[in-house]
Amino acid sequence: MSAIENLPDFIPYKEIEEARTNIEGHVLRIPLLPLNIDWPHGKIYLKLENLQPIGCFKLRGACNAIACIEKSQLREGVYTASAGNFAQGLAYCTQKFGVPCDVFMPDHAPSAKVNSVQGLGGRIHKVTFDDWWEIMKAHRCDGMGGKFIHPVSDHTVIAGNGTAGVEIYEDLPDVDAVIVPYGGGGLSCGIASALRHVKPSCKVFASEVETAAPLSASLKAGKPVSCTYTPTFVDGIGSKSVLEEMWPMVKNLLSGSLVVSLREIADAIKLLAEKNHVISEGAGASSVAAALAGQAGKGNIVCVISGGNIDTSKLVEILQGRVP
């Protein structure tokens, strides 16, 4: 069984530097690119994590987590609960090292992500969203052997995610704000931990979708609260509640949650495809939608495109101007 980890208020910069060494050669160092539009309030830049080998940022955390586990502990394999992106990252790493990998996925997970995990050798267990969320909260699944790696609140996963924050600063020292899609807080808190050290004046915002925005509700309440969750084409972010173990870090590091609509996200996906020839999934485009709405203010704004794993049929609808 895996215990729920007691997390600090931020990830020490030394651990992020160590993670950078651990993931070197496995994770792409992708430079910032400007969004090809005239924006009257400054400049919007894109951190294109959708260009990673698995199509999303999750390779950073998964790779560092595997590197930090003793080899003797890997013999029985690893398992996780994931809507698809972290599952791909973990399966990608375990395939390289010959480690068995089991993944619990919610039954509405998109086929593009399911097929990718299976192609990487991951063994998929589909469960209801409620059962999947219980595994996420408990950090274990009864009856499973091997080591559970949490896709969000594992300390080493967050440190691995923080390497993206170091790269953002190296490419744009004058960055004013970074917008990060919020699924559970692992990416946003990793990036914010890094920037806290190298550029403390930079604000880090979460972006959420209106159909599932627990962070926004929790920040207003001053404590973790539950919210209504409605499944949509935006599957990489959104849940019923903020993970309680993440709350101290989230509250300490993030400057707020920027909530956008399904229409705004669909429009942002279409814009990214037409202006930058970039394919983003719904979660990834939420950061651009928030920036374009002016929710992060003016200046040099970096939008993290967290992933590009979207079903082709949904992408076609969006490019035709519809909301799936």
User: Which CATH number does the domain housing residue 178 bear?
Assistant: 3.40.50.1100
Do 167 and 103 fall within a single domain? no
- What is d(CA 216, CA 225) in angstroms, rounded to the nearest whole number? 10
The closest alpha carbon to 243, from 273, 272, 215, belongs to 215
Domain-located, residue 110: yes
Same-domain check for residues 212 and 191:
yes
At 4, the pLDDT band (50, 70, 90 cuts) reads low
At 203 the pLDDT is 98
- Contact residues for 291 (Cβ-Cβ < 8 A; gap 6+): 44, 179, 301, 303
76-92 average pLDDT score: 91
Count of beta carbons in the 10 Å neighbourhood of residue 127: 16
Per-residue confidence (pLDDT) for residue 1, from 0 to 100: 38
pLDDT in tens, 32-77: 999 999 999 999 999 999 999 999 999 999 999 999 998 888 888 9
Q: Is 193 found in the same domain as 112?
A: no
In a domain, 5, yes or no: no
Least confident of 166-180, 222-236, 243-257, 304-318: 222-236
Together in a domain, 49 and 68: no
Are 172 and 76 members of one domain?
Answer: no
Q: Please indicate, yes or no, whether residues 141 and 190 belong to a single structural domain of this protein.
A: no
Whether residue 132 is found in the same domain as residue 24? no
Say yes or no: 233 and 124 in one domain.
Answer: no
- In this structure, are 193 and 314 located in the same domain? yes
49 found inside a domain: yes
221: buried, middle or exposed (CB in 10 Å: 19+, 13-18, 0-12)? exposed
pLDDT at 2 over 60: no
- pLDDT tens column, 219-228: 999 999 988 8
pLDDT per position as a tens digit, 89-124: 999 999 988 899 999 999 888 787 888 899 999 999
pLDDT at 239: 84
In a domain, 2, yes or no: no
The predicted structure's pLDDT at residue 143: 87
Percentage of the chain exceeding pLDDT 70 = 98
* Enclosing domain of residue 239: 13-55+161-319
The rounded Cα 256 to chain-centroid distance in angstroms is 16
Domain finish residue from 113, 148, 183: 148
Bridge partners (DSSP) listed for residue 177 = 203, 301
- Is 290 in contact with 314 (CB distance < 8 Å)? no
Does 78 map to a domain? yes
pLDDT per residue as tens digits for the range 230-272 = 989 998 898 888 989 999 999 999 999 999 999 999 999 999 9
**Domain total in the chain:** 2
Is the distance from CB of 144 to CB of 179 less than 8 angstroms?
no
Residue 212 predicted with pLDDT over 90: yes
Is 86 a residue whose pLDDT tops 60? Answer: yes
